[in-house]
Every structure is written in C-alpha cells, then in structure tokens.
Amino acid sequence: MSVMRQIDIGRQYLGLAEDEILARIQARKEELADRLLILGHHYQRDSVYRFADLKGDSLKLSREAAAIKDREFLVFCGVHFMAEAADILAADNQKVLLPHLDAGCPMADMASSAAIAAAWKELTVVTGLAGRDIIPITYVNSSASVKAFVGEHGGSVCTSSNAKEVLAWALDQGRMVFFFPDQHLGRNASWMLDIPDEQVVLWRRGEPMGGNRENDLNNARVVLWDGYCEVHMRIFPEHVSSWRATAPEATIIVHPECRNEVVRAADLYGSTEGIIKAVAGGAPGSHWVIGTEINLVQRLADEYPDKIIHSLTPGCLCPTMDAVGPANLLWVLDNLAEGRIVNQVRVDPETAAQARKSLNQMLAI
C-alpha cells in the first residue's frame, strides 16, 4: 500500500463553471451506468453528495458496497481510510477510486502502525502484560495497516455507533484495552461504561511510558492514544451553555468525537447515523442544535424545513473531506469512461487479510 499525492487535474477542469461540471458528471454517470457505483459520506459537500448511489457513514458505505459485486468501479467520495476499508471488503474484480488523493483524515494520520507497535511493546514491558492480556481497539478512522495490527493482536475495529459495545467486549477478553486513535471516542465509551476516570489513562505520543507513571499504567483498564478530530475539537462546553441560554427548548445533540465535557453537557450524543435518525424522528417544529461537521448539519436543515436546525459551533468544516470537489469527481469519471483508472486505492493482500479480521471481529460483537 502506498500513499500517493493528488496530481494536478488541469485547468480544463478547474476553469469550468460548476453547472457545466455537474451536467457532465451526470452524463458520465449515465454512460458508465452499471459499471459504476458512487459512494458519498455525510460530510461531503452537496455538489458531490448529490451524485452518490449509496450515502452513509464510512462503514455503512463499505459494507453496502461490498454486497454489490457487479459494479466494477467504486468511486468513494470521502477520505483515504474509507477507500481503503472499501477495498478490503470489495470483491477481487472491483476497483476503488478516491477522487482526491490528498483527502486524508488528520486523526487517522495521528496513529501510524509503527508508532502503535512501538507503544504496544513499551506497554507490555512496563505492565508485564503480554499477548491476549491487552486487547487493541481501533476506531474505523485508521489506516489499513493499523487495522491489520489490531487483527494480528486479536482486537477489533469500532465505529462511533458501537464503541461502547466493542469496549465492553474487549474488557471481558483481557485485563487492559489499548484504544486508538481517537482519545475522545475512547473516553466517552469508557464514561458510558462507568469506568472510573483514574482507570482511563492517556498515552502521549513521543513521551516515555506515554507520559504516565508506571503505577498509573499498571492500574489502568483503558489506555487511550492521544489522537483527536480537529473538527470536533472546535466544539466547547461553552457553546452548549450559550445555546442553553439562547434556546432552552432546543435539543442539543453532539458526535462522540467531541470532548467528554461537551458530551456530558449535551442532551444527546450519537454517530452521524444516530444524529440523522434523532432529527428525522423529531416532531415538526422541534429545535435541534447539532455538534458535528457543517455539511451534515446544513443538509439536515435543508431536508427538514419543518424543524429548526442550527449548528452548535460555527466553522466545523472538515477541510480534507471538502478537498473532494465536483471537478475531481468529473476528472475520475472522464478517465474511467476513456478506459483509464486514476486514483485507485489498493491495500496489499496480506495487510487486507489481517485488517479484515479486525473488521469481522467487530461484526461478530
């Protein structure tokens, strides 16, 4: 597996008016017809998202796409780890393409498999725990090689909807859980399971013993990697209290990538799918204040004009999700229609086999 950078797609695309780009994407979609499946993550901008045949969060998209074996090209409008997961679950004849190769997830990039392996080794030495005593969990927002590490060590992937259940499973299996890369999802899942704060410790990258005392590590049940989502980090408890004062009747719902103080202060928390479901089920006229990426919040506001919908915090735009523009999508489709495959994301078979174990473990929980 190699990470490539996006090449310049050229002025013939970047100079086009958006209306023309959208019309040409539609024409290419019709031309490629049954050979093509476009997947769109909730955080994609509307001008791309509207062309998606499948819409959802990362795992839902990969699983649904994997069930459709007769489409040759899976164009994943999302970020790199999602395209990797789709390739891991895809059939051999299917090719996964990412319209913009610079669309990575900064949180996933905070945990390389080499850094995880080094920390794992240190943790086993300090605690004297070995093998199956430490169970690794990786959030789906991680590279294929990190998922493969987890598969090799008997752990599981989790998502923002099932982190609590996966953590409970892992705590039943071993003495300690090593959770990466999102410290906040791990802390929120630990909080939901009532694990005492002193048994949840943070592993700070680059510091000996992750910046902990030996005793604290020995008493820990959950060790959290210090990764985070910079988009959800823009949401603070003060935003919640400010909305409480402005609109006391509103329901405040936040994503569990937010810090624990925010999740505690909100009325509800949920994954992207959970947030959509909650708003969809709200009564006409109900007021929702949502703490997650702005494209999803804006889309909900458009889809439910009978409800009042606001973003909890201004400026929650994920810049790497936003890197995928309609011009990139058109460029990929033009190339496919002309017989060229560009921006294919491939996971080598050995890594894919181990990573698949960790994904299958999650599905079995």
Residues that bind ligand SF4 (CB under 6 A): 43, 79, 105-107, 141, 229-231, 293, 318, 320-321
Alpha helices (H) along 38-143: 46-49, 58-66, 80-89, 106-109, 113-127
Nearest CB to ligand SF4, comparing residues 44 and 343:
44
The nearest distance, CB 231 to ligand SF4, in angstroms, is 4
Minimum separation from the CB atom of position 201 to ligand SF4 (A): 22
In the bound state with ligand SF4, the residue whose beta carbon lies nearer, of 24 and 184, is 184
Q: How far is the CB of 79 from ligand SF4 (least distance, A)?
A: 5
- Please identify, using beta-carbon distances, which residue of 83 and 336 lies nearer to ligand SF4: 83
Least separation, in Å, of the C-beta of 316 and ligand SF4? 8
Burial of 274 (0-12, 13-18, 19+ CB in 10 A): middle
Nearer to ligand SF4 by Cβ, of 28 and 232: the residue is: 232
Q: How far apart are CA 247 and CA 169, in angstroms?
A: 39
Question: What are the angstrom distances between the C-alpha of 183 and each of 98, 115, 256, 257?
Answer: 27, 15, 10, 8
- Give the whole-angstrom CA distance, residue 75 versus residue 84: 12
To the nearest whole angstrom, how small is the minimum distance from the Cβ of residue 43 to ligand SF4?
6
Cβ proximity to ligand SF4, 153 vs 232, nearer residue: 232
E strand residue ranges, the chain: 36-41, 54-56, 73-77, 95-97, 134-139, 156-158, 176-180, 200-203, 222-225, 251-254, 268-269, 287-291, 308-311
